[in-house]
Amino acid sequence: NAGVTQTPKFQVLKTGQSMTLQCAQDMNHNSMYWYRQDPGMGLRLIYYSASEGTTDKGEVPNGYNVSRLNKREFSLRLESAAPSQTSVYFCASRGGNTEAFFGQGTRLTVV
Amino acid sequence: GESVGLHLPTLSVQEGDNSIINCAYSNSASDYFIWYKQESGKGPQFIIDIRSNMDKRQGQRVTVLLNKTVKHLSLQIAATQPGDSAVYFCAESDTGRRALTFGSGTRLQVQP
């Protein structure tokens, strides 16, 4: 049972490049989330999807888009990467008002 | 290595001592609270949770206390071990809000 799987694990982008971070969960959870974590800070919510077919903005959505492709997969897209988006990105899933399960993170550097 | 948590408040304890990590929250509607442990280079891992109809819950070597009056949450770790060294985050949510909101975290350092 893999839980939450994120790809890639590491990525270096040049300013202005685009990329998509992939996330998949195998726990049949309805809700999925994207957080970013900067040094010295907690996790901040970028976007979430409460159920298949819905997405909502979180605390820091600017510069990002998301797609809930199906119940398993939730992707995060950076259309034009900026150095301020250098961070560690975590995907998570939840089955209800319970604990969230996290992936191992994607370490993104924008130069 | 991972630079997450570079400027976090740090709690330093001796191996075998008890540790107490505190967290304040602001949303009076929050009804679910959780503690996560994050080791360097890894995603957050569940430790223990508590719902608002309780004020204390115990796990293996860990206890969570909830004081709704002052909106305060604490994590107690008994007989702290070197493997407990990590960054600890509290998080909360309410039934109407679909996402967990995280606190800023505390780094626990266990001295042998």
* Mean pLDDT across A69-85: 96
DSSP states of B57-85 as a string? Answer: EE-SSEEEEEETTTTEEEEEESS--GGG-
What's the gap between Cα A92 and its chain centre?
8
pLDDT given for residue A1 in this prediction: 61
Paired sense of beta strands B101-102 and A43-49, if any: unpaired
The secondary element (H helix, E strand) that includes residue A107 is: strand A106-110
- Which pLDDT tens digit goes with each residue over A1-52? 679 999 999 999 999 999 999 999 999 999 999 999 998 788 999 999 999 9
pLDDT given for residue B107 in this prediction: 94
Inspect the interface and report whether the beta carbons of B49 and A41 lie closer than 8 Å: no
Residue among A38, A42, A48 whose CB faces B103 most closely: A42
Inspect the interface and report whether the beta carbons of B89 and A56 lie closer than 8 Å: no
pLDDT given for residue A96 in this prediction: 84
Residue among A37, A50, A100 whose CB faces B100 most closely: A100
Average per-residue pLDDT for chain A: 95
Q: Is A103 on the interface with B (CB under 8 A)?
A: yes
Res. B108: pLDDT tops 90: yes
A96 against B43, higher pLDDT: B43
Chain B residues close to A90, C-beta within 8 Å: 43-44
Inspect the interface and report whether the beta carbons of B44 and A41 lie closer than 8 Å: no
3-state secondary structure of A59: coil
Contact B62/B78 with Cβ under 8 angstroms? yes
Within 10 Å of residue A64's Cβ, how many Cβ atoms? Answer: 19
Chain A residues close to B7, C-beta within 8 Å: 39-40
- As separate numbers, helices (DSSP H) first and strands (DSSP E) second, chain A gives 0, 11
Contacts of B31 (CB under 8 A, 6+ apart): A97, B51, B52, B93, B94, B95
Paired sense of beta strands A106-110 and A10-13, if any: parallel
Res. B4: pLDDT tops 60: no
- Which pLDDT tens digit goes with each residue over B34-83? 999 999 989 999 999 999 999 999 999 999 999 999 999 999 999 999 99
Contact A97/A46 with Cβ under 8 angstroms? no
